[in-house]
Amino acid sequence: MTAIISFISSGIACFIASFFIVPRFISRPRAAASLAGATAVLLAACGGGDGGAGSPGGSQTASGASSASGSGTGSAGSESSPGTSAPAAVIAPAGSIFYGMNGHINAGGAYAAASPALQLSQLKDLNVTLYRNDVSSQAEAVKLASLAQTMQPSGVTVYPVLLQLVKNFSDEETAYQASYTLAQQIVNVQKYAYYEVTNELAPQCLVGWVDGVHSTDYDNRCFQIARGIIRGMIAGIKSVDPAGKIIIGGNTWMHYGFDQMLANGTQPDGTNGHPVVTWDITAWHWYSEQGDIRHACGGSGCYDVIGTLKSFGKPIWINEVGIRPDFPGTPDQAATFLYNDMLNALMSIAPQYDIESLQVYELYDDPPTGQGPYGIMLNDGTTHKPDYAAVRNFIAAKPK
């Protein structure tokens, strides 16, 4: 309840911050330190709206077309991009995928200082089997593929989060084509079992201080561009790797109105009959101030977020489960909260809501110029915070 009161009382700050959203998984190079730091502070109590940043296969309708208008087949995209070699063997899990971790191999800081072998040893010590990492260029895809190939034989499966920002495009068609090309480039470097398409685009399109549960909570032009990004990525992936599973880019808090419009072919201006996006796994993010995911309360009321996500009919991955840097307590209290009120609370409802995976955010703290100390380890890449033991002990006590 304290978190909810704090959340509502920060409405003014969130309203301002909604116009300066910087995703936690952001394209490289990272945004200027001053903007990132200010955004992180403003949005720490905004229900995860800072952009953070994957069953059965879904059918490809308009989302698999080769243009934003939905025409064409996309078959031309099956050829490798110039200068790339044939993809290596698919990076796919051999066992459980229930527990995972977030990383930023392309972000620098501790992720650059810690070798892939060291990161692998830490992930193995935690006993997590999925490692979620962002990628926004072909060069980053090469680096990510090397990490994935290093970890795969030891039972840790890397999967990519493909990134684009709405502000980089003027219209849906341009966003579609650029995202189609980017996805082809990334998949031509390395095929994966899972691909997450974007990260927290919904808060980039919110209209002021709103909860994100209604279509009218979003700017129409922004939503169209975001839809173009997502559809272009899916089509680009499928043109190279038809078997790859699509994870709809994780959103957070109560911003499910965005995904509902994608699934229904509607948009904020109230019109329908627009391209429908299909996916295989619904991703979501949940943080320490957000309360009960079955009864989350914002400015317009309280909502069953997880129940709405289940209504999409796809398995659910909570692929960012994290403690805010401004958690109101000691590090030990934060670790206890992570164990009991987050991991245990989500695991207890997993069978009811088809939650297939819980992935902690994140392995290492960001550097001082980043978006905050979200890690379960310090920025040196070696020092454990109490959260590290909480994650390790939880997984040991409740293996999946």
Distance CA 191, CA 188 (A): 7
Per residue in 69-82, pLDDT (tens digit) is 443 333 333 333 44
Burial of 25 (0-12, 13-18, 19+ CB in 10 A): buried
Distance CA 374, CA 53 (A): 12
Q: Enter the pTM of the model.
A: 0.83
Side-chain half-sphere of 5: how many Cα atoms within 13 Å?
2
Judged against a pLDDT cut of 50, whether residue 137 lies above it is answered with: yes
Would you place residue 370 in the very low, low, confident or very high pLDDT band (cuts 50, 70, 90)?
confident
Per residue in 250-294, pLDDT (tens digit) is 999 999 999 999 999 999 999 999 999 999 999 999 999 999 999
Estimate to the nearest angstrom the gap between the alpha carbon of 320 and the chain centroid: 7
Q: CA quadruple 134, 66, 247, 159: dihedral positive or negative?
A: negative
For 395, phi and psi rounded to 5 degrees? -65, -40
* Mean pLDDT for the stretch of residues 90-99: 97
Report the CATH number that the domain containing residue 180 is assigned in CATH: 3.20.20.80
Judged against a pLDDT cut of 60, whether residue 157 lies above it is answered with: yes
Identify the pLDDT of residue 53. Answer: 36
Per residue in 312-369, pLDDT (tens digit) is 999 999 999 999 999 999 999 999 999 999 999 999 999 999 999 999 999 999 988 8
Per residue in 29-58, pLDDT (tens digit) is 333 333 333 333 333 333 333 333 333 233
Of 314, 309, 125, 282, whose CA–CA distance to 197 is shortest? 282
168 and 133 in contact (C-beta within 8 Å)? no
54 and 279 in contact (C-beta within 8 Å)? no
Of 171, 256, 180, whose CA–CA distance to 222 is shortest? 171
Residue 227 structure tokens:
């839809």
Identify the pLDDT of residue 85. Answer: 52
The domain total for the chain is 1
Judged against a pLDDT cut of 50, whether residue 181 lies above it is answered with: yes
Distance CA 195, CA 160 (A): 6
304 and 295 in contact (C-beta within 8 Å)? yes
For 361, phi and psi rounded to 5 degrees? -110, 115
Packing angle between helix 386-397 and helix 116-126, nearest 10 degrees?
A: 50
| Alpha helical stretches, state H, the chain | 2-9, 11-17, 33-43, 110-113, 116-126, 138-151, 172-189, 220-240, 256-264, 305-310, 331-337, 345-353, 386-397
Per residue in 190-218, pLDDT (tens digit) is 999 999 999 999 999 999 999 999 999 99
Identify the pLDDT of residue 227. Answer: 99
Instruction: List Cα–Cα distances, 326 to 122, 142, 322, in angstroms.
Output: 25, 35, 12
Mean pLDDT of the chain, nearest integer = 85
| Residue bearing the bigger pLDDT, 105 or 4 | 105
Distance CA 47, CA 24 (A): 13
* Mean pLDDT for the stretch of residues 125-141: 99
End-to-end alpha carbon distance in the chain:
31
Would you place residue 86 in the very low, low, confident or very high pLDDT band (cuts 50, 70, 90)?
low
236 and 182 in contact (C-beta within 8 Å)? yes
Distance CA 269, CA 397 (A): 49
- Pairing label, strands 296-298, 301-303: antiparallel
Judged against a pLDDT cut of 80, whether residue 148 lies above it is answered with: yes
Identify the pLDDT of residue 25. Answer: 53
Distance CA 49, CA 37 (A): 14
Domain residue limits at 142: 2-397
Judged against a pLDDT cut of 50, whether residue 96 lies above it is answered with: yes
Judged against a pLDDT cut of 90, whether residue 8 lies above it is answered with: no
* Mean pLDDT for the stretch of residues 115-128: 99
Q: Count CB atoms within 10 A of the CB of residue 178.
A: 18
Identify the pLDDT of residue 177. Answer: 99
